[in-house]
Amino acid sequence: MLTIQTPETILFWVLAPLSVLAALGMLLVKKAVHSALLLAFVMITLAIFYIAQDALFLGIVQIVVYTGAVMMLFLFILMLVGVDASDSLTETIRGLRPIAITAAIGFGGLMISLIARAKLGHGAFGLAEANKDGNVQGLAKLLFSDYVFPFEVISALLITAALGAMVLAHHQRTSAKPTQREQSIARFRQGTLGTAAGLPSPGVFARHNAVDVPALLPDGTPAPNSISATLKARGDILETSQFELGEVDKTVKEEK
């Protein structure tokens, strides 16, 4: 019969509230990147729980696969997709949020009360017996004997998923990529010649040449389109008015 030692109890009471808090934070923070980091924290606490519960192999896999690979994949996609209005926490579907929260509280309450009521009919056995040859060996015995067929099937699934992801992400151009020459011609053919020479670089004629500082036009006004759209979307842009030149001397004659 299993008796749980004090260190594990302490570990649990420290990590469990932290993991729940982190999960709640993941739900509530605005930026997806922060959500991802909080989720990674939850996963690491879970990995520790696994190891504490004699599931050494799973704990390591949890860290390597989840926090290592899967979460990195999430971050990579976040980088690819960038930041947009979907990060907003305001609800657009009317009435959905109260319903969701009520439902979730009901769901959680029912589940907790069910767990509290459940009786197994015996105490916890612990895995000392099952792990006597080592946890990895014990799992390997099961995986390659009783579960070898599901194991093979799941490997086929993994390969299929990898192929599927490649097919989905593969982008087939429907037309040839425009060459520089064509882009140049297109610029001159459009309605105004204002942008024919290309967009100004950030910081041009300005007092700072940082990427988040807009360029100044010849009349001294800032040019917002000189700053990368991503920076604008993130709001990482400095107030343009502070870079305006107060007075431009227009009396200077042009020399011939």
| Footprint (CB under 8 A) of other proteins, residues 63-122 | 65-66, 69-70, 73-74, 77-78, 80-81, 84-88, 91-93, 96-97, 99-101, 103-108, 110-115, 117, 120
CB closer to other proteins, 73 vs 217? 73
Q: How many residues bind other proteins (CB under 8 A)?
A: 92
Return the ∠ at Cα 78 (arms to 73 and 80), rounded to 5°. 95
H-assigned helices in 69-132:
71-81, 96-117
Q: From the CB of 235, what's the least distance to other proteins, in Å?
A: 16
- Three-state DSSP state, 238: coil
CB closer to other proteins, 32 vs 213? 32
Per rule CB under 8 A, is residue 144 in the interface with other proteins? no
CB closer to other proteins, 66 vs 243? 66
In this structure, what token pair is assigned to residue 87? 């990060």
CB closer to other proteins, 122 vs 256? 122
Site for other proteins in 8-47 (CB under 8 A): 8-9, 12, 16, 19-20, 23-24, 26-27, 32, 35-36, 39, 42-43, 46
Residue position matching structure tokens 């696994």: 50
CB closer to other proteins, 169 vs 193? 169
Q: Does residue 151 contact residue 144 with C-beta atoms inside 8 Å?
A: yes
Per-residue binder mask for other proteins (CB under 8 A), 149-188, x = binder: -xx--x--xx-xxx-xxx-xx-x-----------------
Binding segment toward other proteins, per CB under 8 A, in 134-142, 197-205, 206-214, 238-246: 134-142
CB closer to other proteins, 88 vs 241? 88
Q: From the CB of 238, what's the least distance to other proteins, in Å?
A: 26
